Structure 1
Amino acid sequence: MAKITYIEFNGTEHVVEVANGLTVMEGARDNAIPGIDADCGGACACSTCHAYIHPDWVDRLPPIEEMEADMLDFAYETDPKRSRLTCQLKVTDKLDGLIVQMPEKQI
């Protein structure tokens, strides 16, 4: 289980525990955290689970695969270093303390 901090665009923080095996997107969805829409349900087909990874965590995550990189082209105001699709980030104990920030909106 990992404790993940989700920060809404307005600065509101939500710290929740997310079970291993779920995705960061599912953690937001299951805890009713606004800002991650996840319209496709985690199929990496919509980019509405886009979030910015805290700089301290960027290099600690698995690299972006081609499908995720392609879908990020459709996300709102991406940051080439910090943007990720949260449906592609599997939760493990190694993600304990992860901080993600939501963009102003999802497209």
Structure 2
Amino acid sequence: MTVVAKLGGSLFDQPRVEGRLSAWLAAQPRCRIVLIVGGGRSVEGLRQAHARGELTDEEAHWEAIRVMDENASELHHRLTAYLRVNSIATSAFEGGQG
């Protein structure tokens, strides 16, 4: 079974997030986990800038994507035992290990 879970970007500021996430992942031995990483406070700042008219829809969208990508990279550096992929297609191509 594949499980899709979102790790909110604000959780990066929580103590022991790596240990808690690793424990949760280990408790899902029969599942293939697809973890989506959120943007946290940085994306909230983008929402506010967009609401004030400082960013276009497109600028806000792509900047939010960039922030979430940075958060995913940071998480991968913290949890090196897990494979980081950029798409489900990549994950499937690599034998479902991601």
TM-score (norm 1): 0.27
Higher helix share: 2
Larger Rg: 2
TM-score (norm 2): 0.29
Higher relative contact order (CA 8 A, sep 6+): 1
Higher strand share: 1
